[in-house]
Structure 1
Amino acid sequence: MNLRAILTTIVVLIAALAGTIWLGRGNSTLETGNSGNPQKSVEDDRPQVSETGPYPKAVVDEELYKFGEMAVGQSLSHKFVLKNEGEAPLEVKKGNTTCKCTLSEMKDNAVAPGESIEIELIWTPKTPQETFGQTATIWTNDPKNQEMKLQIEGTVNNLISFTGDSLGSPNWSLPVMSTEEPVSFTGKIHTKYLDDFKILEMISSNPGLTSSSKPLTPEELKEVDAKSGYGIKITGDPNKFPLGGFMERLTVKTDIPNNLKSEKPDKAHKHADHDGHDHKHDEQAEYKEFVIQVSGNHTGPIRIVPTFGVHWNPKTMVLNLGEFDSKEGKEVTLSMFVEGTEQPLKILSQEIVPDFLKFELKKDDKFQSKTKQRYELKFGVPAGKPSMSFGRGNLANVKLQTNHPNAKEINFRVRFISL
């Protein structure tokens, strides 16, 4: 071997030795740091098994209980019975649990041979679930059964069901308002978990929307697999709604307690305050109320026909301009046919949001009809405006006040995205 090869081998060996020493120092430091305050393991809390015997024997009547169906917010419980069939006291301790778990009292913290205790699992679901499962772990000093898994299973539904229920939010639609005659829709509110409940009050967000209720008949309850419920009739008065699509709210207040274990009130109670006067207290805030979304469309004496390629929704009276280049802008044209008046339609006032939205109404004098008039509607976003979006929740709006006796107010809503 030549001198260069020998020198190279010596350098490699020295580098390897230095690295080994450095790594050894690093590991020594880590071990010293960890050995100072060792963390207590969860396993240390388990009951200790005797090395010589005699031994206890833990026997549970069942390890899985199926609740079946239950309602959101409803607290249900089940008691498992744990018996000691062995020859020594059975030590029992609660381990990890995904629900509330309680153990009945034990003398000297142990179950004597031949005796038993109850282990109660309590579950209060917060949301609907097709299948739910909860588990409680029980530790014992039975050498053959040191860890026991107690389980509960079931299905969670909404406490109250509605016609048109969608993910817990009922949506009802009124028939189209095309004349001055009121229109109505009847839906149902019902439950399979309560023998009885009362509707205390129904409040509408629009004075033109009224409501009434009556208990469901036994036949109607059977159809929806319910114990109790009501039919709710909602009526819309076209004279109190502007033309266009609308979305209103009907708040239904009930006597169902927010805590299902609390009692229902008969009336708002009175008590004497420090000044000696009686004061009423509204307890309805402690009880469940539900909101029904009510949608509809008031077309009245007008009918709108879009030109080719224009996206118009006649049910909601929403014009969708789609996406377009903000540098170029966009403009569309629709035809509007008006009945019920011989006088030309005039705009008395208008509100346009955003204010740069272009709107134009022009009568078609060439259109010949004894019962109708035709108008040309133009909507547009001017070129050169900044990029913006008007969509669900913040639609652009054109509100008109007119001279038509049956179309005094007309609302057009517009959605678009300019890029």
Structure 2
Amino acid sequence: MKNLVFGMIAVAAAFGGAAYIFMGDDLLEDSSAAATETSEGDTSSTSASTETSPEDERPKPSEQGPWPKAIFDETEYSFGSMQVGTEKEHEFIIRNEGDAELKLQAGQPTCKCTAFELSDTVVGPGDQTKLLVRWIGKFKDQNFSHGGPVYTNDPANPEIRFSVGGLVDAAVDLLPEETWHMGGMSGETSLKTDGYIISRVFEDLKVDNIECDSPFIQTTVEKISSDELTEFKAVAGFKVLVTATSDLPPGLLETKLRFKLNRVEELVSVDLRASKPGPIRLLPMPGVTFSEASNGLMMGQFPASEGQKVSLLMLVNAEGMTEDLQLKTVDCNPSFASVSMEPMGSGSGETKRYKLTLEIPPGIPRTNRDASNPGRINIETNHPSGQSLQIRFAFKAF
């Protein structure tokens, strides 16, 4: 897959796992971003204290017995994977197979995101209790793992550490993530590329439908192989084959693919770009940074009080034209930008030369339009080919 990037606009940008685990009704913010933070606030007598538990307050075994015996089948639970923003829970069972009451106290959690809820703090001989853990994965985390200790009066197990761990991930990922670049069409041959929809959470993921605003884009979907699943560390995935048909109009196509998936309520979308050479070409004038592949223009930094002008060379194949080239409609965002055009000499043969000037007027507010939010210009001309022009531009007016 060709992965052309909006290079010049990206240059312009130069100027310019957490989760929640809660017990009962308590919700505590994860300290993954600041692991040294301690917990705040008190919980009930059966939940984990958010203050350090002094040793003299912990359950103590009898000096002469009889003693309890704490038995547990597991102290670590792997939940596999979960979607960001969803909730899971797990119960650990603690049994008393000793001859005296088993006393339990939840201790200091590993971080603010962790807490426990004990059903009972005193367990009689032959009885059992539950340690309930609930958690919400708030951010992506490939190695989510949190827990803490439970203190007992069992001399053989004075401290038992419990933890939960797994993968917290988005329901689906699109690869590439933001834009699928198809590149430029050569001649009358259709243009093809592919992208991927994968999930590390849902094995039953399905693609129900694909929408696209452009009639010149066709898509097909196929399941990816087991080797590709392993490569992506995914449990389900699809390859989306995208074709731009040969009758694509000349110029730059910018559209979106929207995916209806069975496991996601809202449509998942990705930008799609393709281009086809036409009779009108835009090229940089000396000293101007412009990408013909992406029609990206960098206007640089300038005082807002002074404004800025940048010009491009426009080469036009005028074969079949009975009148001079004209700009029929110009749509600028932001609206204070403007575009003008003037001839540059007579050119050679059927090729005509024009200077296309983009102006940011003086006196605008301070503005920063970078690669994440570029300005946009859409131009329709009277050329018989019907080719339209789209320009993205970045600038910083200070």
Q: TM-score, normalised by structure 2?
A: 0.69
Please give the secondary structure, in 2, of the residue aligned with 1:188.
strand
Map of 1:94-133 to 2, 5 A cutoff? 94=106, 98-99=113-114, 101=116, 109-112=122-125, 116-117=128-129, 119=131, 121-133=133-145
TM-superposition CA deviations, 1:292-338 (whole Å, max 9, x none): 23234455333222122211122331322111134443323321222
Distance 1:295 1:46, change over 3 A: farther
How do 1:141-160 residues align onto structure 2 when only pairs under 5 Å count? 141-142=153-154, 145-160=157-172
- Contact residue 81 and residue 167 of structure 2 kept, 8 A: yes
Name the larger-Rg structure.
Answer: 1
- Asked if residue 253 in structure 1 is aligned to residue 260 in structure 2, the reply is yes
Instruction: Say which structure is richer in helix.
Output: 1
Q: Which residue of 2 aligns with 1:8?
A: none
Task: Indicate the residue corresponding to 1:70 in structure 2.
Answer: 81
Shift, 1:173, TM fit: 1.4
Segment of structure 1 superposing worse, 92-101 or 156-165: 92-101
Residues 1:314 and 2:292 aligned together: yes
For 1:219 and 1:149, the matched residues in 2 are separated by 37
Partner of 2:329: 349
Q: Which amino acid aligns with 2:341?
A: L
Say whether 1:374 aligns with 2:353.
yes
Deviations 1:202-249 (A, max 9, x none): 222445444332333556556545443322123345867783463x33
Cα separation, partners in 2 of 1:87 and 1:194, compared to 1, 3 Å: same
Change (3 A) 1:405 1:185: farther
* Closer, same or farther: CA 133–361 of 1 in aligned 2, 3 Å: same
Deviation at 1:194, TM superposition (A): 4.0
Asked whether the 8 Å contact 2:91–2:130 carries over to 1, the reply is: yes
Tell me which residue corresponds to 2:103: 91
CA positional deviation for 1:410 = 1.9
1:12-38 per-position Cα deviation (integer Å, ceiling 9, x unaligned):
xxxxxxxxxxxxxxxxxxxxxxxxxxx
Partners of 1:412 and 1:192 in 2: how far apart? 37
Report the residue type matching 1:350 in the other structure. V
Instruction: List gaps (5 residues or longer) in structure 1.
Output: 1-39, 259-286
Using the alignment, how far apart are the partners of 1:327 and 1:197 within structure 2? 54
Q: Distance in 2 between matches of 1:145 and 1:62?
A: 14
Find the counterpart in structure 2 of residue 295 from structure 1: 273
**Is the Cα contact below 8 Å between 1:190 and 1:229 reproduced in 2?**
yes
What SS does structure 1 have at the residue aligned with 2:262? strand
Amino acid at match of 1:253: K
Q: Does 1:363 align with 2:363?
A: no
With over 3 angstroms needed to count, the CA separation of the structure-2 counterparts of 1:402 and 1:182, relative to structure 1, is farther
User: 2:169·2:201 contact (CA, 8 Å) conserved in 1?
Assistant: no
Shift of 1:129: 1.0
Higher relative contact order (CA 8 A, sep 6+): 2
Distance of 1:328 and 1:388 partners within structure 2: 11
Distance 2:363 2:276 in 1: 32
Q: For residue 174 of structure 2, what is the aligned residue in structure 1? A: 162
Deviations 1:114-152 (A, max 9, x none): x55554545452322132222144243336655432123
Secondary structure at 1:197 match in 2: coil
d(CA) in 2 for partners of 1:154 and 1:218? 22
Name the % identity.
Answer: 24
Residue 385 (structure 1) aligned to one of 363, 367, 373: 363
8 Å CA contact retained: 2:115, 2:147: no
Q: What runs of 5+ residues in structure 2 fail to find an aligned partner?
A: 1-43
Contact 2:279–2:316 (CA under 8 A) maintained in structure 1: yes
